[in-house]
Amino acid sequence: MCKVPSQVNQDWLRVSSLVLILILKGGILTGGMSITVLRTCIFALTACALGAQQLTGDPARGQALFEGKGECLMCHRVNDKGSRYGPDLSTIGASRGRGGGPNISPTGTAAGDPKGLELAMLDPDAEVALANRSVRVVTKDGTVITGRLLNHDNFSVQFIDTQSKLRAFMKSDLKEFAVLTKSPMPSYQDKLNAQEVADLVSYLISLKGPSKP
């Protein structure tokens, strides 16, 4: 059966169903649990969370976190401000792309989805878009360089390094080359509290790009 933490405080009650799933996945399950019991536990814990006081995010506080405590500008860019190393988040809050198709977020989930953005912050490795995979190369002199992959084929590789510089190599000039499956983004599960996560998500959802005339 489910082992619920003995000290259930308000912050724990307020987390979303995604966080509850992460908690379950993290090891508070005892052995021998069937999928039916697991599903029942998730639904029960979700109902508990949803029944508690809901957190309302504040975009202004979220922006302050994005530019300050969260250090998000060290990797991401918003409206020509920040680094080019990570995906540009200037339109991450838009729910639809051109032609009515889904606008894909840095995690591969539909942009404009609060739950997807929350999951990306709490468990960045859960879903990494192919377009945002990282790459690691080792030159023949032993220099190790990592960055966000832009393109590669049988002969060459191009990527943005951690200093936001465009790098290009012929694979024949490299000692090692590897596309990484894990996200370089750190988890904010232990760095931000529930209210701060809600504020940051609220700010990201507000980023819909320049308004059209």
Mean pLDDT by 10 residues, the chain (213 residues): 42 49 54 53 53 76 96 92 91 61 45 83 86 92 95 95 94 95 90 94 91 59
From first CA to last CA, the distance across the chain in angstroms is 56
Rounded distance, CA 167 to CA 169, Å? 7
- Domain co-membership, 169 together with 198: no
CATH code at position 71: 2.60.40.420
192 and 122 in one domain?
A: yes
Three-state DSSP class for 119?
helix
Question: Same domain, yes or no, for 66 and 123?
Answer: yes
pLDDT score of 209: 81
Sign of CA dihedral 41, 42, 45, 48: negative
Beta bridge partners of 98: none
pTM (2 d.p.): 0.65
Are 145 and 85 in a shared domain? no
The C-alpha atoms of residue 4 and residue 24 are separated, in whole angstroms, by: 10
> What does the pLDDT read at residue 146?
95
Parent domain of 160? 134-180
Nearest by Cα to 116 from 188, 18, 22, 197: 18
Say how many C-beta atoms besides its own lie within 10 A of residue 33's C-beta.
14
Number of domains composing the chain: 3
Task: Identify whether residues 111 and 195 lie together within a single domain.
Answer: yes
CB 144 within 8 A of CB 162: no
* 123 and 73 housed in the same domain: yes
CA distance 151 to 140: 21
Is residue 92 within 8 Å of residue 63, measured between CB atoms? no
